[in-house]
Structure 1
Amino acid sequence: MASGEIIIREAREADLPALIAMFAADPLGGHGDTNDPEAYPDYISAFTTIAASSHQTLYVAEREGDVVGTFQMMITTSLNARGSSAMIIEAVQTRADMRGQGIGARMIEFAIAEAKGRGVRLVQLTSNAARKDAHRFYERLGFEPSHIGFKMALK
């Protein structure tokens, strides 16, 4: 196990190369992530949109100055459940060489604490159906598989 404290902080634009590399290296992601420099403006645009939003935040997990994980949190409010808010955790990724070292748990625990601090009624996330290890991980942290998700690719 690597030494060093895991620090969770808001992502900075300077973190983008490390984040892009993590997503591009994910064989199951299937999101078209790439280290191709021609795609960099797309990532900058997305980062700018996220950073400007008061309802979503992109975080990194850092150990000894290296970005070793990331996740994004979004708060949504709906009329059902008497107008309560929910937190959606998205794009959870731990660098492949750092998995199994508690980084993912630290990120999810941070997100849950943030949700509690904001008075959110529910924390939810989705996980690729092929990620059986991730499903066991989320269940160990107290999440329950409760819904079936549907997606429609538009481009």
Structure 2
Amino acid sequence: MILRQREYFGWPPTEADPAEPSEGLVLHYNGSATSLREHSDCVAYWQRVRRFHIDGNGWVDIGYSFGVCPHGEVFAGRGFDRYQAAQGTTAGNTDYYSVSLMIGGVESPTEVQLGGLAEFRGLLLDLGVTPCVRGHREFFATECPGAVVGELLDQGFFS
């Protein structure tokens, strides 16, 4: 698994509050299609999301713990052991890691993206996080993580 740390994106350490997420992970998507083809597109997308979360939402940092790009690389957001802003609830943001699949619309996750997510999930399990995988919609009235990922969740794909 390739895990790109914050320094890769030119970001300083996060100022997000500490937390101890251990209940599992929550999947997210973008909403509209991302159309990420090249790795450089993924990096630029992740940087845009962070700018939007800080400048548009007024958050201290990108809202997600991590992201998984269509090429299977895992991108650090707030990172390990940090409070997130992505779930929309205090317990969800404290107790779960948030992972953006960096897709949107009717885009499907790629096989290597699902492989990267599985490897990252294995790392979380090794760290003592439960195997629970939920969708953002389970915490907040939203379409997220979209129809495609929502269907995978409903079918127990991540169980």
TM range (shorter): 0.3 to 0.5
Quick check: which has more Rg, 1 or 2? 1
TM-score of the aligned structures, taking structure 1 as reference length: 0.40
More strand by share: 1
TM-score of the aligned structures, taking structure 2 as reference length: 0.39
More RCO (CA 8 Å, sep 6+): 2
